[in-house]
């Protein structure tokens, strides 16, 4: 649930983009800068902050990141201008590192034979956060105004600032005896040698990039296609709820990967996602065929991500956060 809460912050804006633009008096193109800058800042945060997980105690690090998200969400809820709102959205993205640090932290504390299962549970939490923020943000914005969604986010972050340090281990993560943790500059310099020495990690990242690119293209196309064929925009939202299959199925996918191997499992789910793609040209105005295609793409895409992370987390446990940075 912590993964769900920390990842949800970036997605409240999606159903609220029109009322935010109207309140600040900016165009649709301008208001789109807020989520765009959030994602750019997230990429910078992953590059510059995530490697610190291999040097600094993860409990302390995650607490700092969640406090950063709390302050950014508070600024967004109180913002009186779009400039402040967009700047706070960028700060929010920069500190949204916990969803990437938590899986590395948790998988270090379970039996290696259960890494896939645990990764599936964490992925389910992220999916639930994305889905819940879009549905919940839209409902809150409709009935109570767009700022209410951000106040809920502020409350969730305040709760996590208290709960996470009490749940996570207080002791320093185990390091080899008589070894000094690498300096920050050494952490960054080590990314390229790791990239070259473990080709399965960038390969997994490339596969996930293609899968996620397909996900974005699919939903942009659906958003354009359905209204042009007589369906309301609410139908697009109903289709998004199909992502709930990922929340329910992800732990079982991880367990399946543990049993038969993540490499083989990834091939199977790549084929399932490909089958979903092949159905799209024939969907046309057939909503049921489109639903089947969306289900196959949803299940395939999330499962490919789980398998790639399971492969990655089975390598070099002492550098898992740097592996996550590369991925």
Residue 131 to residue 124: CA distance in whole angstroms? 10
Q: What is the pLDDT along the chain (327 residues), one digit of tens a residue?
A: 777 888 888 888 877 877 888 899 988 778 888 888 988 999 899 889 988 888 888 888 888 999 999 999 999 999 999 999 999 999 999 999 888 888 777 777 777 777 777 777 777 777 778 777 777 887 888 788 889 989 999 999 999 988 888 877 665 554 544 567 778 888 899 899 989 989 998 999 999 889 888 877 787 677 667 767 777 655 666 676 776 776 677 778 878 888 888 899 999 999 999 999 999 888 877 888 888 988 898 888 888 988 898 888 888 777 888 888 888
Domain ranges of the chain: 2-167, 200-313
pLDDT given at position 41: 94
pLDDT given at position 147: 93
Long-range contacts of 44-47 (CB under 8 A, 24+ apart): 44/94, 45/93, 45/94, 45/95, 45/96, 45/97, 46/97, 46/100, 46/324, 46/325, 47/325
Residue 202 to residue 238: CA distance in whole angstroms? 34
* pTM tops 0.95: no
The owner of tokens 């972050």 is 157
Superfamily of domain 2-167: MFS general substrate transporter like domains (1.20.1250.20)
| CA distances in angstroms from 142 to 19, 136, 137, 203, 307, listed in the order given | 9, 10, 8, 42, 38
């Amino acid at each position: 649930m912590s993964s769900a809460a920390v990842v949800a912050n970036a997605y409240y804006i999606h159903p609220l983009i029109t009322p935010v633009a109207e309140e600040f008096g900016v165009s649709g193109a301008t208001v789109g800068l807020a989520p765009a800058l959030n994602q750019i800042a997230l990429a910078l945060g992953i590059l510059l902050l995530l490697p610190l997980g291999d040097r600094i105690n993860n409990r302390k690090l995650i607490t700092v990141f969640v406090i950063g998200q709390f302050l950014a969400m508070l600024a967004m809820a109180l913002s009186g201008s779009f400039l402040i709102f967009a700047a706070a959205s960028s700060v929010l993205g920069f500190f949204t590192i916990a969803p990437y640090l938590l899986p590395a932290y948790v998988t270090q504390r379970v039996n290696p034979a259960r890494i896939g299962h645990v990764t599936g549970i964490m992925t389910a939490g992220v999916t639930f956060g994305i889905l819940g923020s879009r549905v919940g943000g839209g409902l809150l914005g409709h009935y109570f105004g767009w700022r209410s969604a951000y106040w809920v986010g502020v409350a969730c972050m305040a709760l996590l600032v208290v709960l996470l340090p009490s749940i996570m281990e207080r002791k320093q993560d185990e390091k080899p005896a008589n070894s000094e943790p690498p300096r920050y500059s050494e952490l960054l310099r080590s990314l390229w040698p790791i990239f070259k020495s473990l080709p399965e990690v960038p390969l997994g990242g490339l596969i996930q990039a293609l899968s996620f690119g397909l996900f974005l293209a699919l939903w942009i196309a659906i958003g354009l296609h359905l209204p042009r064929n007589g369906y309301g925009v609410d139908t697009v939202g109903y289709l998004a709820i199909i992502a709930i299959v990922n929340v329910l199925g992800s732990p079982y996918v991880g367990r399946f990967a543990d049993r038969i191997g993540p490499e083989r499992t990834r091939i199977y789910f790549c084929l399932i996602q490909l089958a979903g793609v092949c159905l799209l040209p024939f969907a046309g105005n057939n909503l049921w065929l489109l639903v089947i295609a969306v289900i196959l793409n949803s299940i395939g895409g999330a499962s490919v991500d789980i398998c790639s992370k399971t492969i990655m987390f089975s390598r070099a446990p002492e550098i898992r956060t740097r592996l996550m940075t590369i991925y």
